[in-house]
Chain A
């Protein structure tokens, strides 16, 4: 074990191989990208509620810019906020220390993964500087629109002109991001399999470590076809190969299969680590063993496998064979069963619990509630191929998937930050500000998206700059009001986040000093000092039990760390 040396911030920030430093880099980068994703959504939502002129902090918005902002908002939130937050940040901070080791299996690969990620951010944002402007064909990049704005390659354009387009940069950025996350995922899995503390069998792993690993596996299983697809699409753009051009023997629907073969598992990649966080927090703050541990792992594996064969529920009306749509509808609706089991097991942990409403617990409860009641249940509506005929590409879908993604990425992410902050910074966040932050985030999040469900049922279709063409259908006073409620709530939601930023950065320097195990929790990271030095543990811990022995009848205390006999 190496001595912890004091190094300068910049040097440490850019060159450290320590998993905690890399986790912190990912966290700051994700927050930086979230600022873009959040600003974009503010601009286009403002337009939807109050029109495109004189948007504060932006100016006038044109239709083309609307498409660009929507597209980049979606892509940033998924690939540059969601993926780093739940996979890279959690995986890096938590895996080595929770399994009782000093670092990742491949620290250098870990660093390269971060640098590739940073590069992908730069490539994506430089898309906005291209002569054609940023890519605006939707984050799903459906060709032929993603090949060129007019659906075909102009044979007279040069390679160079095709290269310096938003489309090319967008695709390259996505490809780089995949590479980065692949390197991270390999690292997580190898580390978990090989570097566990003595006595820490797989069935004694904290649930969040399980979830991050399953998510990484799922990502690896599903991303391959899309990497092939991305390459084909790039070739279509750059040299006009026509893989997706129906007039030249290609097929635009092929892309949709490749994309959603990845895209559906991807939403579980974002969900699972976050569910893992919620599991840790539920057990700790209910002071009870995690209920149904093996069952949950088993159900997650089932759901993971099923998630690889439901992708065409995004394509019920895209021109696939209607007979096949029946099978995808069946599988999609059935996937609700393992999720129901998981949610019930989680609620089993709360049952008879000595529940403590700390800030991380509030975020965790908010995460599970909004995911289940609005995200999961409306999945049944959309899994029905018949109802999806109507709901597809309306705001009903927008509201549904934000009710799955926002809890996974944002609420789950905040839960994790509030929970592990004392460990990794050595200081405590302010509780009162945390509670205000929770209530603001939770209430405004709901008041944004509940109106959008209703607008979707009214037939409001998505990715539309201006609804005034549909005066009778979509421009009645209550439609306009619903849009304005959503937008005003968004503005409040964004303002609330400044409370968090203030708390986060101020507490880094001025927060109350945190003890080793402030939540009286069992997992190994709480046995290291706060913050853990380089190498994490002064002595490698040995493990004697699973992580959830809260209120063990044989003990006087209500918790029992994994490394105690």
Chain B
């Protein structure tokens, strides 16, 4: 059984990997806790003296359980925090130089994609907009200006493990770099009204030549 859908970026693999790291920490904690849960149940019939049963908290040596347990989990927590930190920084706090820039506008109930047009610059007169179909070149750093028109939407690219809420009145710039060609999904992850479940877009990741071709078609240079 596969746990995650196919992935199309190296960040996606790192996020999946982080999931397994956390699951590992949790797994160890589960085994210990499960033992403490089940052992008293299966030995419940054992004859014990009252002194053995009368374990009153802070006089009893078993309180060391609490400290050890909390300490072990603290170690696990720190391990998770260390592992996640560098990923978060690269994904959310840094913006590598872009090779290409586009804008995505969420509106009820579609994704408007704004391409920079033949001059390669966004927000100039020759910008071209398209609905729901996003063509991107493989292995390039892409900047996306993310916006919403009416209510909050959320750009969710499941195969890239990418998500960002988009807000009316704001532009949020994020980057992405995809390493696999193919057709992928764009979904909306924030409830946005009646048509929320119709906000489906397609992400086409294409080789350099194919992508130039698609751009020419979108710009009307080529039929």
For residue B168, which residues in chain A have a CB less than 8 angstroms away from its CB?
144, 151, 246-247, 252
- Asked if B62 and A317 make an inter-chain contact with CB atoms under 8 angstroms apart, the answer reads no
- The smallest C-beta distance from B123 to any residue of chain A, in angstroms, reads 19
Q: B178 CB to closest chain A CB, in angstroms?
A: 16
Q: CB-CB contacts of B136-175 with A at 8 A, as 1s and 0s?
A: 0000000000000011101010110111111111101000
| B65 contacts A354, C-beta separation under 8 Å | no
Residues of A within 8 A of B66 (CB): 292, 295, 341, 344-345, 348
Tell me if B74 and A381 are in contact (CB < 8 A).
no
Kindly list chain A residues whose C-beta atoms are within 8 Å of the C-beta of B122.
none
Complex-state Cα separation, A473 to B77, whole angstroms: 32
CB pair A325 B40 closer than 8 Å? no
Q: Which residue of A lies closest to B158 (CB)?
A: A459
Given contacts A387-B22, A389-B163, A552-B54, contact A149 B15 (CB under 8 A): no
Question: Does A152 lie at the interface of the complex (its beta carbon under 8 Å from any beta carbon of B)?
Answer: yes
Contact B161 A389 (CB under 8 A): yes
**Contact present for A389 and B53 (CB under 8 Å):** no
B185 at the interface (CB under 8 A from A): yes
The reply to whether A384 and B80 contact each other, CB–CB distance below 8 Å, is: yes
- Residue B190 interfacial (CB < 8 Å): yes
Q: Is the pair B189, A393 in contact by a Cβ cutoff of 8 Å?
A: yes
Q: Tell which of B41, B158, B164 has the most Cβ of chain A within 10 Å.
A: B158
On chain B, the residues within 8 Å of A341 by CB distance are 66, 69-70
Pair A353/B169 contact, Cβ less than 8 Å: no
Question: Cβ of A228 < 8 Å from any Cβ of B?
Answer: no
Contact status B77-A336, CB under 8 Å? yes
Whether the pair A287, B53 counts as a contact (CB closer than 8 A) is: yes
Q: How far is the CA of A246 from the CA of B166 in the complex (A)?
A: 12
Q: Which residues of chain A are within 8 angstroms of B3 by Cβ–Cβ distance?
A: 454, 457-458
- B189 touches which of A152, A352, A461, A466 (Cβ 8 Å): A461
* B218 part of interface (Cβ distance < 8 Å): no
CA–CA, A343 and B66, complex, Å: 9
Nearest-neighbour CB distance to chain A for B40, whole angstroms, equals: 4
B154, closest chain A residue (CB): A393
Enumerate chain B residues within 8 angstroms of A389, measured Cβ to Cβ. 15, 91-92, 161-163
Q: Does the CB pair B52–A252 fall under 8 Å?
A: no
A269 to B25, CA, bound (A): 27
8 Å CB contact of A352 from B22, B55, B151: B55
Q: Bound state CA distance, A295 and B66, in angstroms?
A: 9
B26, B57, B150 — most chain A CB neighbours (10 Å): B57
Contact, CB under 8 Å: A322 / B152: no
Looking at the complex, which of A26-34, A174-182, A369-377 is the stretch in contact with chain B? Answer: A369-377
Contacts of A318 in B (CB 8 A): 165
**Contact in complex: A295, B52 (CB < 8 Å):** no
In this complex, the member of A369, A459, A466 whose beta carbon has the largest number of chain B beta carbons within 10 angstroms is A459
Knowing A63-B197, A319-B164, say if A386 contacts B15 (CB, 8 Å).
Answer: yes
A287 to B40, CA, bound (A): 13
Rounded to whole angstroms, the CA-CA distance of A289 and B63 in the bound complex is 13
Q: Which residue of B lies closest to A340 (CB)?
A: B73
Chain B residues near A326: list those with CB within 8 A: 85, 88
Task: Tell yes or no: A117 within 8 A of B by CB.
Answer: no
Q: How far is the CB of A237 from chain B (nearest CB, A)?
A: 14
Residues of B within 8 Å of A461, CB to CB, are 156, 187-189
Give, as a whole number of angstroms, the nearest-CB distance from A310 to chain B.
13
Interface check B36, CB cutoff 8 A: yes
Q: Does B221 contact A (CB under 8 A)?
A: no
Which stretch from B43-51, B96-104, B111-119, B205-213 is at the chain A interface? B43-51
Q: Is the CB of A458 within 8 A of B55?
A: no
Chain A 461-515 residues near chain B, CB threshold 8 A: 461-467, 469-470, 472-473, 478
Verify A386–B87 contact, CB threshold 8 A. Answer: yes
Cβ of A337 under 8 Å from chain B? yes
In the complex, chain B residues whose CB is within 8 Å of the CB of A470 = 185, 187, 200
In the bound complex, residues from chain B placing their C-beta under 8 Å from that of A369 are 37
Question: 1/0 per position for A446-458, CB-CB distance to B under 8 A?
Answer: 0000000010011
Which residues of chain A come closer than 8 Å to B87, judged between CB atoms?
386
Closest to B16 in A: A390
The one of B18, B93, B163 that contacts A317, using a Cβ cutoff of 8 Å? B163
Interface-central residue, A149, A253, A344, A467, by most chain B CB under 10 Å = A344
CB–CB A350/B41 < 8 A: yes
B152–A373 touching, CB < 8 Å = no
Decide if B19 touches A381 in the complex (CB within 8 Å): yes
Q: Is B88 within 8 A of A322, CB to CB?
A: yes
B92 A355 Cβ-Cβ under 8 A: no
Which of A212-220, A327-335, A415-423 faces chain B? A327-335
Q: Which residues of A contact B190 (CB under 8 A)?
A: 142, 393
Judge whether A294 is part of the interface by a CB distance below 8 angstroms.
yes
**Bound state CA distance, A462 and B154, in angstroms?**
12
Cα separation A145 to B166 with both chains bound (whole Å): 13
A344 with B57, Cβ < 8 A, contacts A469-B197, A469-B198 known: no
Given contacts A150-B150, A322-B93, A394-B189, contact A246 B167 (CB under 8 A): yes
A473 with B158: CB separation less than 8 A? yes
B30 within 8 A of A: yes
Closest B residue to A478 using CB positions: B1
**CB within 8 Å of A: which B8-44 residues:** 15, 18-19, 22-23, 25-26, 29-30, 33-34, 36-37, 39-41, 43-44
Neighbouring B residues of A390 by C-beta, 8 Å = 15, 158, 161, 163
Complex Cα spacing A373 to B29, Å: 9
* Cα of A252 to Cα of B29 in the assembled complex, Å: 39
With a 10 A CB-CB cut-off, give which of B5, B41, B167, B197 has the most chain A CB atoms: B197
Residue A227 interfacial (CB < 8 Å):
no
Chain A positions within 8 Å of B163 at CB level: 317, 389-390, 392-393
Q: Do B40 and A151 touch across chains, with their CB atoms under 8 A apart?
A: no
Contact A347 B62 (CB under 8 A): no
A336 touches B198 (CB 8 A): no
Whether B196 pairs with A463 at a CB distance below 8 angstroms is: yes
Question: Quick check: is A137 within 8 A (CB to CB) of the other chain?
Answer: yes
Q: How far is the CB of B122 from chain A (nearest CB, A)?
A: 20
Question: Contact between B165 and A551 (Cβ–Cβ < 8 Å)?
Answer: no
The verdict on A274 contacting chain B, using a C-beta distance below 8 Å, is no
Residues of chain A contacted by B65 (CB below 8 angstroms): 344, 348
B131 contacts the other chain (Cβ, under 8 Å)? Answer: no
The closest CB in chain A to the CB of B23 belongs to: A381
Query: Using Cβ atoms and an 8 Å threshold, which residues of chain A touch B192?
Result: 145
- Top 4 A-B residue pairs of the complex, sorted by shortest distance between their CB atoms: A246-B169, A459-B158, A151-B150, A322-B92
Q: Would you list 26 pairs from A and B whose C-beta atoms are within 8 A, ordered by A residue? A: A138-B191, A142-B190, A144-B151, A151-B150, A247-B168, A289-B55, A292-B57, A317-B165, A319-B166, A319-B167, A319-B172, A322-B88, A322-B92, A333-B81, A340-B29, A343-B33, A347-B33, A350-B40, A351-B36, A355-B40, A373-B33, A384-B80, A385-B88, A463-B196, A473-B158, A558-B50
17 further A-B contacts with Cβ under 8 Å, apart from A319-B172, A334-B77, A338-B70, are: A63-B194, A150-B108, A151-B151, A288-B55, A294-B57, A336-B77, A337-B70, A340-B70, A344-B66, A347-B37, A348-B57, A373-B33, A381-B22, A384-B80, A389-B15, A470-B187, A473-B158
